[in-house]
Each structure stands twice: as structure tokens, then as C-alpha cells.
């Protein structure tokens, strides 16, 4: 049997997405053979996660600066077009769309693992749009082309419908479906993503 602290660490690693107990054990034994300084460096980097904040507009992960209403660099950027909001599931989706350099609007992350939280975030967004005096032109629903992504997209579209009452010109679009089914936004190559953006309807 392995010493208890080692087994505990393996169990921790095994909780990570797509990591099974065997791979977790491999990680732990790899670390076990690293110099002490390296382990210390890694531990310090993990502590950084405690100092993470979320953008008060789009929910993106940012480095905490102790501010009460932290904003990410995209939301802060005056050059971004605030009349278009792109709803994505997670941070890495924003990175993927940003890489294409074809989108000028702002984003909103609704999350993808907790339905209650998704509903809360959607309601927050709807309230904010209703209160804002700036007219919104378009909301792009950019969820994965997976079964889960499709389900979330339909759900979002249903929730957003009420915004059309006050703003009949508002366009609610979705990424073009030239995408192969099953593809996750963050893994799409840039060309596919650009086409999906341009082909939105
Ligand atoms: Zn932001």
C-alpha cells in the first residue's frame, strides 16, 4: 500500500477532468522525483488561484486587483462595440474567438456545468440590458456544436425572447452551423470559427 499522503495526493489529481487514477498516480510519481524547489514553485503557482477574480460584466477570469467592480481587458477596452454581445459557455471560448480577430463586440460567459448558475447569469444579463440606455443591436449565441451546447443555445434563445418586446430590432443570432456536429468551440480551427461567425443567422 502507498503511504497515506501520497495516496491522498493521487486522489486529488484523479478529481481533475479526464484524469483517471492511473494517470493521477503518474503525475504524483513524476512530482515526487522533482527537486524540492520545483515542487515549491508549483505549489506557489497553485496559490495564485486564490487571488483570481471575475469580470463584473462578462464573468471572465481575471487577476484580482482588489477592486470592487473588476473588469477584464475586453470589457475595459473603449474600442469594443458594446452594441453586440456574444454569449459563450466558458473562458477558453473567448480565447478561441479572439484569436480570429474577426469579432469586435463584447462577451458574456454563462458557464456550462451548473444549470442554476446559468439561469442566474442569464437573468442578470437580461436585467442589465433592460436597464441600459444604450440600444443593443445583436446577441450572438456561440455555444458548442455538441448536444449540450445545442440544448443551452435553445434555452438561452427562449430566455432572451422577452428582450425583443422592448427592442424589436434586436437580432438574436447563432453561429453558422457549417460546423461539424460535436465540435467544441475552443477546439475549432480559426477558419472554421471565422466562417461560423460570418455565417451566423
Ligand atoms: Zn469582461
- The string of pLDDT tens digits covering residues 167-176 is 899 999 998 7
Residue 65 counted as domain residue: no
Residues 44, 107 within the same domain? no
CA of 2 to the centre of ligand 1 (A): 45
CA-CA distances (angstroms) from residue 104 to 51, 61, 83, 145, 198? 29, 19, 10, 22, 13
CA of 76 to the centre of ligand 1 (A): 7
Q: Say which residue the cell 474567438 belongs to.
A: 97
Residues 22, 107 within the same domain? no
For residue 178, what pLDDT is reported?
58
When divided into structural domains, the chain yields a total of 2
Residues 189, 93 within the same domain? yes
Residue 124 counted as domain residue: yes
CA of 72 to the centre of ligand 1 (A): 4
The widest CA-to-CA distance across the chain, in whole angstroms, is 67
Residues 39, 85 within the same domain? no
Residue 10 counted as domain residue: yes
Residue 67 counted as domain residue: no
pTM over 0.95: no
CA of 77 to the centre of ligand 1 (A): 9
Counting other chains too, the contacts that 191-194 makes at CB distance below 8 Å and 24 or more residues apart are: 193/96, 193/97, 193/99, 193/100, 194/100, 194/102
Residues 155, 90 within the same domain? yes
Which residues constitute the domain of residue 144? 79-198
pLDDT top residue among 24 and 146: 24
For residue 9, what pLDDT is reported?
95
For residue 85, what pLDDT is reported?
96
CA of 46 to the centre of ligand 1 (A): 23
State percent of the chain over pLDDT 90.
Answer: 56
Average pLDDT over residues 109-118: 87
CA of 4 to the centre of ligand 1 (A): 42
CA of 108 to the centre of ligand 1 (A): 7
Residue 56 counted as domain residue: no
CA of 90 to the centre of ligand 1 (A): 12
Give the CATH number for residue 23: 1.10.8.420
Residue 62 counted as domain residue: no
pLDDT top residue among 201 and 53: 53
Residues 111, 172 within the same domain? yes
pLDDT tops 80 at residue 179:
no
Give the CATH number for residue 115: 3.40.1360.10
Amino acid at each position: 500500500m502507498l503511504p497515506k499522503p501520497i495516496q491522498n495526493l493521487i486522489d486529488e489529481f484523479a478529481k481533475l477532468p479526464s484524469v483517471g487514477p492511473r494517470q493521477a498516480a503518474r503525475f504524483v510519481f513524476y512530482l515526487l522525483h522533482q527537486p524540492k524547489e520545483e515542487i515549491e514553485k508549483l505549489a506557489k503557482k497553485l496559490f495564485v488561484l486564490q487571488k483570481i477574480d471575475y469580470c463584473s460584466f462578462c464573468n471572465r477570469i481575471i487577476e484580482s486587483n482588489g477592486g470592487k467592480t473588476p473588469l477584464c481587458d475586453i470589457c475595459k477596452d473603449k474600442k469594443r462595440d458594446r452594441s453586440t454581445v456574444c454569449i459563450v459557455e466558458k473562458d477558453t471560448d473567448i480565447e478561441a474567438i479572439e484569436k480570429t480577430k474577426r469579432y469586435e463586440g463584447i462577451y458574456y460567459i454563462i458557464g456550462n456545468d451548473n444549470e442554476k448558475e446559468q439561469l442566474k447569469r442569464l437573468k442578470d444579463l437580461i436585467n442589465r440590458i433592460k436597464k441600459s440606455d444604450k440600444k443593443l443591436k445583436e446577441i450572438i449565441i456561440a455555444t458548442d456544436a455538441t448536444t449540450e451546447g445545442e440544448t443551452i443555445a435553445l434555452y438561452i434563445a427562449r430566455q432572451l425572447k422577452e428582450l425583443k418586446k422592448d427592442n424589436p430590432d434586436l437580432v438574436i443570432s447563432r453561429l453558422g452551423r457549417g460546423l461539424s456536429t460535436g465540435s467544441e468551440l475552443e477546439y475549432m480551427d480559426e477558419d472554421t470559427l471565422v466562417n461560423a461567425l460570418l455565417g451566423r443567422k
